[in-house]
């Protein structure tokens, strides 16, 4: 008897925990990359970037997850998404890059935007997550979101072998300068007393 009451209470709690309405995220097509995948291309020395886009259909809260591959051993990541039409339609509420980072949102009459930044992003498969709400005006439950993701390689700390070569090189330069300075002093002394 208690078992059935406990299960019924759990089911009721789960029912009320589900949002009343949720919008659906749709990734357009499969070209040039599969749906929900950000393709990163070279954008400068030690930097890659790629465009992202998705549609939001319906009304209520939405959650978009896009995947990408970090080609660097360690990187700083910056991702943004923008809806440029009506600030009352989409409101971005948060985001992260692989579960961390800082997100800042802005809202204006011309639309809304979100910027997510993260440092120390490891190499390999990662995610860019965006949360928001779609509140359509005039019955149009559709919005198109676009943005960009950029990664920049973080300078790595040199390995111990590299440090050893630095020290040997600086020692050799210092020794050469010391010998040269001594030779110059001797020649100056000879010229002075001559």
pLDDT digits (tens, 9 = 90+) for 87-128: 778 999 999 999 999 999 999 888 899 999 999 999 999 999
Q: Are 72 and 119 in contact (CB under 8 A)?
A: no
Is residue 15's pLDDT more than 80? no
Q: Give the separation between CA 123 and CA 161, rounded to whole angstroms.
A: 23
Domains of the chain: 18-153 (2.60.120)
Nearest C-alpha neighbor of 79 from the set 35, 48, 46 = 48
Residue 15 Cα distances to 5, 20, 21, 58, 144, angstroms: 15, 10, 12, 20, 30
> Which segment of 16-20, 154-158, 159-163 scores lowest on mean pLDDT?
16-20
pLDDT at position 40, please?
A: 95
* Percent with pLDDT over 70 in the chain: 74
- Alpha-carbon distance of 24 to 2, in angstroms, equals 38
Q: Which residues contact 136 (CB under 8 A, 6 or more apart)?
A: 59, 89, 142, 143
Q: What is the C-alpha separation between 123 and 121, in angstroms, rounded?
A: 7
Q: Which two tokens stand for residue 36?
A: 């929900």
Burial of 107 (0-12, 13-18, 19+ CB in 10 A): middle
Q: How far is CA 187 from CA 173, 191, 192, in A?
A: 21, 6, 9
Q: What pLDDT is stored for residue 75 in this prediction? A: 95
The separation between CA 137 and the C-alpha centre of its own chain, rounded to angstroms, equals: 31
Q: Which distant-in-sequence residues (6+ apart) come within 8 Å of 21 by Cβ?
A: 58, 59, 60, 61
């Amino acid at each position: 008897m208690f078992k059935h009451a406990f299960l019924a209470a759990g089911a009721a709690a789960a029912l009320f925990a589900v949002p009343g309405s949720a919008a659906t995220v749709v990734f357009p097509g499969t070209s040039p990359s599969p749906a929900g995948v950000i393709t990163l291309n070279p954008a400068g020395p030690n930097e890659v970037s790629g465009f992202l886009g998705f549609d939001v259909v319906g009304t209520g809260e939405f959650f978009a997850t896009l995947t990408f591959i970090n080609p660097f051993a360690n990187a700083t990541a910056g991702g943004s998404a923008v809806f440029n039409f009506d600030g009352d339609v989409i409101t971005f509420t948060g985001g992260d890059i692989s579960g961390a980072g800082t997100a800042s949102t802005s809202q204006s009459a011309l639309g809304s935007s979100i910027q997510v930044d993260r440092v120390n992003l490891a190499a390999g498969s990662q995610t860019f997550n965006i949360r928001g709400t779609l509140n359509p005006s005039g019955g149009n439950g559709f919005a198109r979101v676009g943005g960009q993701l950029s990664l920049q390689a973080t300078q790595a700390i040199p390995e111990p072998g590299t440090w050893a070569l630095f020290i040997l090189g600086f020692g050799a330069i210092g020794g050469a300068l010391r010998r040269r300075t001594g030779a110059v002093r001797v020649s100056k002394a000879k010229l002075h007393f001559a």
